Amino acid sequence: MITEFIITAGEQPKRLDLFLVNRERDVSRSALQRLIELGRIRVNDQVVKPSHKIKPGDTITMDVPKPEPLSMKGEAIPLEVLFEDESLLVLNKPPGIVVHPAPGNWTGTLVNALLHHFQISGGTISTIGGKERPGLVHRLDKETSGVMVITKTDTAHRALASQFKLHTITRVYEALIWGVPKKGRGLIDLAIGRDVKDRKKFSARTTSPKESVTEYVVDRRYGKVAAHVLLYPRTGRTHQLRVHLTSLGCPILGDHTYGGQKVRTVQGVEVPRVMLHARTLGFSHPATGNVENFTRPVPGDMEKVMNELEQLIVPGEKALRRPLTVMRVEEDVC
Instruction: Compute the Cα dihedral for 284, 286, 292, 295 and give only its sign.
Output: negative
* Strand 41-43 with 59-63, pairing: antiparallel
Please say whether the beta carbons of 17 and 50 come within 8 A: yes
CA dist., res. 72 & res. 59, Å (int): 37
CA dist., res. 234 & res. 65, Å (int): 38
* Strand 193-194 with 202-203, pairing: antiparallel
- Name the amino acid, one letter, at 76: A
Which positions are catalytic? 141
CA-closest candidate to residue 18, choices 42, 54, 45, 46:
54
Residues facing 14 on adjacent strands: 54
Please say whether the beta carbons of 174 and 145 come within 8 A: no
